[in-house]
Each structure stands twice: as structure tokens, then as C-alpha cells.
Amino acid sequence: MSFPATRMRRLRRSAGIRDMLAETRLHTSRMVYPVFVDGRSRRKREIMLMPGQFTYPLGSLRKLAAELEEKGIRSVLLFGVPRTKDASGSGAFSSDGVVQRAIGEIREGSSLTVAADLCLCEYTSNGQCGIIRGGDIDNDATLGTYAKIAVSQAEAGAHIIAPSGMMDGQVGAIRKALDGSGHSETMIMAYASKSASSFYGPFREAAESAPAGGDRKGYQLNFANARESMRELQLDAEEGADILMVKPAMPNLDIICRARERFDLPLAAYSVSGEYSMLKAASKLGMIDYRSAVIEAATSIFRSGADILITYSAPELAGWIE
């Protein structure tokens, strides 16, 4: 049947009909809010390149967690800025480290699900995601450090460990370390398909994690490659990931879609700092309507197949969905 018997506009005649037929809906229970914790600071500070986002001091996280729960947010992803950085990134696995303490505060003060980002770039003096030996990143030596970080984060109470360093074998090494230390219940959300993206720019200001020299193209994926991305996802699934993640989100809707068809694991998409800041900036210039653009962006990511959306807009979206 075709026109005039078929008329698509019948499906769009009123708000009630459009809502009834909506194939994708936003739920706060499927959103994860990234939180930056600054171990050096005593006050909450706005991130210049991410208007409306803040770095939080230790001691303030019970209150933040309560506010987020009040809004309907159920889960956070933690990033830390340590007091000091060194060549081995030792601040990342100290039981007294910024993320470990932050996890404790949030677990005590709320029933939020707590995910901890696991990487070295915020903790090493050179800002690389791995340990440098002889001028190069030593993949296999880095795995030992990642294992220590994972155990310390699990011990602090993290429900989910989220390794983002893109070292080969990281998921397997972390699973083994967790299981070997009595943390077999701790989940791994693998940054499996993470491309070397310009859209992380504002995050690197917030986390003070920009590489001192060079870039991350030696370990993060080439954004030109979809088949290679499927191999990364496959390997992380085989190594024991509980949740697979694709990042950044909007430039990778095709990857999310392919991953959804190919894997039965829960699939997360990370709408990164640059995606957030672009929308903020465009709305400030009067180019777009902020609220409808953020809703459209989030909806498109779920529509493409993501189960979980990690987004800086989670609190805003929570308010609007209500």
C-alpha cells in the first residue's frame, strides 16, 4: 500500500499520538553521571570549558550524592585529580587516594551505584594512560598497575570498575586481580571501543590529564575504523567484561548500532565532554535550543542501541523527564 491509502502523517497528528508511538524513551535509571573529585581543593569549582559542571572536594560528596538521588539519578562514574602526580601514578592505587575516599563517601551517604574510572593519565606526571619505560608505553607492565588500581577501588566499595586506558589485555588482567582478591562480585564496564577523539578536550582541563607531549593514537582507536572497533569489543567481551562501552557517543552511532546487533552484553555509550560543551556553546550563541537539542542527542544514542548513557546532562535530563 502506498499513497494515498498510506498516510504517515496519521501517526503524528497529536502530541498524545506521537507519545504513544515513541519507540525510544529516556529513563534516568539508564543514565550515569560523571563526577570529578579534586583531592587538592576545598571548594566546589566550576569547570571553565564545561559550564554547569564542577570539580568537587572530598568531604562534599555525601551532599552531592543526596542531591543526585533526589533528582532521580541512580549511578555515578568517578574521576579523580590527585594531590600529587608521579612517574608510576601511585596516587591511583593508594587506599587513601582521592577516588578511593570519594567512593567511600558516596557509598556511606547514598545507595547510588558507583563506577570508578580506571586510568593513569590523571595520576602520572606525563599524562599518559600507561607506564613509560625506555621512552615508550610498556603495555604489560601497565597491566600490573591497573590490577592494583582495580583492587583498591573495589576494596573502597566501587560496584563497577571502568578501565579506560586502552591497553591490550586490561580487562582480563583486572578480572583476574578482582577474582583473586575476593572481589568476584565487582563488575567491569570496559571502555572497549574508545577512539582517539578531539571531543575529550574539555575533560582534560577538568581532570588535568592532557598528555605532556604527543597524543594517545598509539593506544586509542583510529576513528576511521569500524571493523577494528568490533574486534576491540569482541576481545573485551571474551576477557570478561560485564558491560561494553562505546566512546565518544555521537560520532559513533554506527558503532553503537553494530555493537548492539553483534553482542548480547549490556552496551553503554559515553557522551563525552566535547559533546556536552558544544551544545552549551551553541546554545549560548543562540544557535540551538539547548533543552531540545540535549533531548534529541540523548534519544538518538539510545535509539542507536545503547542501554546505558553516560552523560554530563543527566541531572538536567532528569529534571526535564519529570
- Residues lying near ligand PBG in the complex (CB under 6 A): 117, 119, 121, 129, 164-165, 200, 203-204, 216, 272-273
247 is catalytic: yes
By three-state DSSP, how is residue 154 classified?
Answer: helix
100 versus 271: smaller Cβ distance to ligand PBG? 271
Q: Which residue from 221, 211, 215 is spatially nearest to 167, judged by alpha carbons?
A: 221
Number of Cα atoms under 13 Å in the Cβ half of residue 109: 19
Q: How far is the CB of 73 from ligand PBG (least distance, A)?
A: 17
Q: How far is the CB of 134 from ligand PBG (least distance, A)?
A: 22
119 versus 306: smaller Cβ distance to ligand PBG? 119
Q: How far is the CB of 234 from ligand PBG (least distance, A)?
A: 21
Q: How far is the CB of 143 from ligand PBG (least distance, A)?
A: 15
Active-site residue, selected from the candidate residues 44, 63, 176, 247: 247
Asked if residues 142 and 131 have their Cβ atoms less than 8 Å apart, the reply is: yes
Asked if residues 272 and 220 have their Cβ atoms less than 8 Å apart, the reply is: no
Which stretches does DSSP call E strand in the chain?
31-38, 45-46, 54-57, 75-81, 113-118, 132-133, 136-137, 160-163, 187-194, 243-247, 267-271, 308-311
β 308-311/267-271 pair status:
parallel
List Cα–Cα distances, 86 to 131, 156, 280, in angstroms.
11, 22, 34
Q: How far is the CB of 19 from ligand PBG (least distance, A)?
A: 31
181 versus 208: smaller Cβ distance to ligand PBG? 208
150 versus 185: smaller Cβ distance to ligand PBG? 150
148 is catalytic: no
Q: Which amino acid is at 63?
A: K
Active-site residue, selected from the candidate residues 71, 194, 217, 284: 194
Give the cell for residue 245: 562501552
Residues 2 and 41: their CA atoms lie apart, in Å, by: 64
Q: Across the strands, what pairs with 55?
A: 36, 45
What's 214's DSSP letter?
S
103 versus 119: smaller Cβ distance to ligand PBG? 119
Q: Which residue from 75, 83, 81 is spatially nearest to 106, judged by alpha carbons?
A: 75
Give the cell for residue 172: 582480563
Q: How far is the CB of 94 from ligand PBG (least distance, A)?
A: 18
DSSP states of 230-243: HHHHHHHHHHT-SE
Catalytically active residues are: 194, 247
